[in-house]
């Protein structure tokens, strides 16, 4: 969790160093107004692309987007696909005596929709954000059971291990789904005109999960690993996105009064 917090703090530090002069100023008698861009911001999750490259057991891709509704409120969402070969081992996976319980491959699509609220008061001409947000997420996926072992209470034939699975249950199980809620904290920094780097950390709560009845859903696309005995999970993303300006809207700021 510390690496997620560190990444977010680094991005927050950049907020004071990158700004784009996109405002139009008009002086009046009692106020100063300037126009801010409103539009659609779309991008990709860089972390999933990097993980797909460095981890041969994982393939993933996610498109992110948000649309500015008001001064600080954004309609936001993510659409993605993930596949990961996962093994559950009795032990730490290092010692020779560790036992493979099962080997499986979940794959599927997910959609997350919600809102982001910008809590950062930008300096003049800046369009950065430090935000909190929420998502409702839904995933549909399948799960392929590659291998498994059985626990046998009769230890006569397998005193030091489990019985090898017969392969009767091996195969693909489709029609699985899950829903969950996410609370997130993130930042977006305008590095160049309309080009943003972002990062977010997410706490998730699993609401429902339909499994195959052969084995539980231990890894869900979009949610990632499901912790035994808990509905909570943690996730993150690092994004690169581009804003498509559709129109500009004036924001009025009261002038400072010098005593």
Q: How far apart are CA 193 and CA 196, in angstroms?
A: 8
Would you state the structure tokens that stand for residue 97, as one six-digit string?
Answer: 């005596």
Q: 255 φ, ψ to 5°?
A: -70, 150
Contacts of 208 (CB under 8 A, 6+ apart): 177, 178, 179
Q: 204 φ, ψ to 5°?
A: -120, 150
Going from the first residue of the chain to its last (259 residues), give the mean pLDDT of each consecutive group of 10, the final group possibly shorter: 47 44 42 78 97 95 96 96 87 61 92 97 86 98 85 55 61 94 97 96 96 89 90 95 91 59
Is residue 43 within 8 Å of 67, Cβ to Cβ?
Answer: no
pLDDT of 6: 47
Look up the pTM and report it: 0.79
Would you state the structure tokens that stand for residue 151, as one six-digit string?
Answer: 């626990």
**Domains and their CATH numbers in the chain:** 2-253 (2.40.160)
pLDDT of 184: 97
Q: How far apart are CA 228 and CA 225, in angstroms?
A: 9
pLDDT of 250: 77
Torsion of CA 11, 242, 118, 28, to 10 degrees: 110
Is residue 206 within 8 Å of 226, Cβ to Cβ?
Answer: yes
pLDDT of 257: 55
Strands 86-90 and 99-118: antiparallel
pLDDT of 79: 98
């Amino acid at each position: 969790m510390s690496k997620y917090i560190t990444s977010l703090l680094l991005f927050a530090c950049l907020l004071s160093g990158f700004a784009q002069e996109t405002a139009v100023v008009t002086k009046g008698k009692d106020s100063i107004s300037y126009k801010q861009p409103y539009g659609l911001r779309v991008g990709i999750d860089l972390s999933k692309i990097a993980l797909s490259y460095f981890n041969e057991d994982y393939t993933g891709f996610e498109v992110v987007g948000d649309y500015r509704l008001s001064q600080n409120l954004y309609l936001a969402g993510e659409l993605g696909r993930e596949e990961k070969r996962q093994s559950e081992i009795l032990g730490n996976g290092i010692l020779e005596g560790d036992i493979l319980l099962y080997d499986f491959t979940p794959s599927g699509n997910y959609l997350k929709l919600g809102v982001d609220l910008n809590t950062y008061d930008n300096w003049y001409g800046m369009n950065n954000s430090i935000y909190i947000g929420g998502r409702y997420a839904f995933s549909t996926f399948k799960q392929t059971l590659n291998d498994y072992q059985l626990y046998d209470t009769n230890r006569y034939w397998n005193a030091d291990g489990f019985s090898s699975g017969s392969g009767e249950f091996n195969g693909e199980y489709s029609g699985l789904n899950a829903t969950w809620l996410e609370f997130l904290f993130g930042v977006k920094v305008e590095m160049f005109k309309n080009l943003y780097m972002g990062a977010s950390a997410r706490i998730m709560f699993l609401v429902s999960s339909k499994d195959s009845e052969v084995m539980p859903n231990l890894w869900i696309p979009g949610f990632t690993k499901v912790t035994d005995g808990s509905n909570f999970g943690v996730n993150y993303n690092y994004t690169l996105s581009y804003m498509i300006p559709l129109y500009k809207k004036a924001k009025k700021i009261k002038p400072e009064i010098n005593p």
